[in-house]
A and B are shown apart, each in its own frame.
Chain A
Amino acid sequence: MALLSAVSDEALVGALVIPHGVIVAAAIFLGTAAIALAWPVPVALSRASWPMRMPVIALLLWQAIGLAGGLSMIGALALAGYSVAPRHPWVALIPAAAFTVYLLAHLAVTVVQVTRQRHRHLALLDLLTSPHPTRARTRVIDDAVPVAYCLPHGARSVTVLSQGLLDRLDADELVAVIAHERAHVEQRHDLLLLAFRAWRSALPWFPIAARAEAEVAALVEMLADDHARREVRDEVLARAILAVGASGVPGAERVVSGSTRVSDRFRRLAA
């Protein structure tokens, strides 16, 4: 017993021992970073006006904030635990490990939920929609409400158009809508939205997570619009948006735009 402890003490002397003060300082630094990334930084980004001109950069920043915020929180918890209980590293790491598991579990649950909802939706599409006569991976649902959306699902990704939409749009406007939806699928916007939805569901009491999700959702619409604007003039896209979003058909306008970032999507077309 005495021999064992002597050996381990000798090993400690030989090892590079990080002074306790450094660990405490690092914990405080990471903790400060985590708080900054959780509150003032995302608030400033969501209030800034430049993201409507540079949606790609803004999206990268949101991802960086989400990732760095999570990692710095985990790091701060680990170091704080270690500075409180340096002799029991396994115990000290419990808060950081618990937080990591909590976040990953929410991500997993969100993936399962979304996948299940998509499967149900695809099964309904199989039964209720017919393939578009000329466009691949496009289906038509016989409903008067003008609506267009895409359901990302790997190789089975599909764009759905309603008959009401086809009746209302001319050929150019339809090109705009389809280019917009294809951009969502090709640029894998669903993965981004999935990650931010998981973040929000993990932190429901944390208003910034919901704001981040809304910002990301509005920014990917701008990216998809930019894709459409390469194929049609801005006026054509604007006409298509009005025909779908302000159609006056009952039931069509359940979700009304209101947030600044959603309005930015329309203002940048007019700019």
Chain B
Amino acid sequence: MGTLGELERAVMDAIWDAETPVTAYDVKEQLDAEGRALAVTTLLTVLSRLEKKGFVASDRSARPHRYTAVASRADHVAELMHSVLGDAGDRTAVLERFVGGVSPEDAAVLRQLLSGAA
């Protein structure tokens, strides 16, 4: 079943796919259908980890506890892409991009190199 990260991703996907709040048993059912048999206790551990990281919220008044995603998958992708592409000067120390936007003048320089090589 791979690493803890893979497990978290599978559980999160199950929560995102469900339209309503889910219990650990619902998640287990979903993952069983995908051919990944996991103990409910394992899933509860993963769910509490996800809650601690702020990706999942739980309703503890219900028995068994029901879990919902704090934000949609698309929202998280947007957050991730913004932290990569956004123009914050603070980004450079966190991650290193291959290249940002290339100005038209610089693009012309590179295209000249390519036409010379052809």
Contact = CB atoms under 8 A, between A and B. Distances in A.
Contact of A269 (B73, B87, B113): B113
Interface string B93-108: 1111111111101110
A232 B79 CA distance: 33
A234 B78 CA distance: 33
Interface residues of B, number: 42
Contacts of A145: 81, 85
Given A126-B9, A239-B114, A197 B106 contact: no
A142 to B, nearest CB: 8
A49 interface: no
B80 A255 contact: no
A141 B113 contact: no
Contacts of A128: 9, 73, 76-77, 80
A133 interface: no
A124 B80 contact: yes
B114 A150 contact: no
Contacts of B101: 245-246, 252-257
Contact of A242 (B53, B84, B111, B116): B111
Contacts of A263: 103, 105-106, 109
A238 B80 contact: no
A122 to B, nearest CB: 9
B98 A121 contact: no
Contacts of A124: 76, 79-80
A143 B107 contact: no
Given A149-B97, A244-B99, A126 B8 contact: yes
Interface stretch (A59-67, A78-86, A110-118): A110-118
B110 interface: yes
B9 A193 contact: no
A148 B98 contact: yes
A103 to B, nearest CB: 16
Contact of A152 (B84, B96, B103): B96
